[in-house]
Every structure is written in structure tokens, then in C-alpha cells.
Amino acid sequence: MCRGGHANPLAALRYQHATEDRDRAIAEALGQLAQGAEIVPIASVPESVSRT
């Protein structure tokens, strides 16, 4: 409800399919970004970089 900006559960259920479709599109885009990312072992990250 909060994410879609709906005031009641019925409205949220009515439009839930749009959120699921958007979640899928976002996940696919993030997956494509991750495929090209370099994996850096945490031991090689400088202490000046926050690890949290």
C-alpha cells in the first residue's frame, strides 16, 4: 500500500499487478548491471571505505 500510494488494501490489491511487473523489470535491469560488475573481495577493500 505504501509503495503504491494506496489508502486502503482494496486499492492496493486492484493495482498489485503493476507493481509486480515493475519489480520484474527492475530486477532484470539490476541483473544486467551485476553481470558486468567486478567482484572485489572484501579483504582488498581499503579501510577508508565503509563496509556497512
Q: What is the pLDDT of residues 4-42, one digit of tens each?
A: 788 888 888 887 777 778 888 999 999 888 887 777 777
Instruction: Give the pLDDT confidence score for residue 45 in this predicted structure.
Output: 67
**DSSP code, position 44:** G
CB burial string 1-33: b at 16+ within 10 A, e below: eeeeebeeeeebeeeeeeeeeeeeeeeeeeeee
pTM score: 0.43
Q: Is the confidence at residue 51, as pLDDT, over 60?
A: no
Question: When comparing pLDDT for 51 and 46, which is higher?
Answer: 46
Instruction: Give the pLDDT confidence score for residue 50 in this predicted structure.
Output: 65
Instruction: Give the pLDDT confidence score for residue 17 in this predicted structure.
Output: 73
